[in-house]
Amino acid sequence: MNPLRLLSTNRGESVSTVSHTGQGFNSPTLHHLTNKQTNTMDTRIKTERSNFTPQARVYHYAVEHVINKTKDDILDFGSGKARYWEKTLGKKAYGIDSYDLSLPDRTMRQYYTVILVSNVLNVQETKDQLHDTLKKIVSFGKSGTRIVWNYPISPRKLKGLKESRLLDHVNHMVTAEGFLPQTTILTGEHSGIYVTTLI
The answer to whether position 1 is within a domain reads no
Residue 26 within a domain? no
For the ranges 4-13, 88-97, 118-127, which has the lowest average pLDDT? Answer: 4-13
Number of structural domains the chain divides into:
1
**pLDDT tier for residue 12 given thresholds of 50, 70 and 90:** very low
The per-residue pLDDT of the chain, averaged, comes to: 82
Per-residue model confidence as pLDDT tens digits over 64-114: 999 999 999 999 999 999 999 999 999 999 999 999 998 999 899 999 999
DSSP assigned state of 77: E
Reduced to 3 states (helix: H, G, I; strand: E, B; else coil), residue 166 is helix
User: What is the C-alpha to C-alpha distance for residues 118 and 144, in angstroms, rounded to an integer?
Assistant: 20
173 within a domain of the structure (yes/no)? yes
Query: Is 70 within the bounds of a domain?
Result: yes
Q: How many alpha carbons lie under 13 Å from residue 50 in its C-beta half-sphere?
A: 7
Is 9 domain-assigned? no
Q: Would residue 90 count as lying in a domain?
A: yes
Distances (CA, A) of 96 to 73, 112, 114, 136: 6, 9, 9, 17
Q: Does some domain include residue 8?
A: no
Strands 114-117 and 73-77: parallel
Count the Cβ atoms, other than its own, within 10 Å of residue 34.
11
What would the DSSP string read from start to end of 134-162?
HHHHHHT--TT-EEEEE--SSS-SSTT--
CATH number at residue 52: 3.40.50.150
**Residue span of the structural domain in which 115 resides:** 15-20+34-198
Assess if residue 4 is contained within a domain.
no
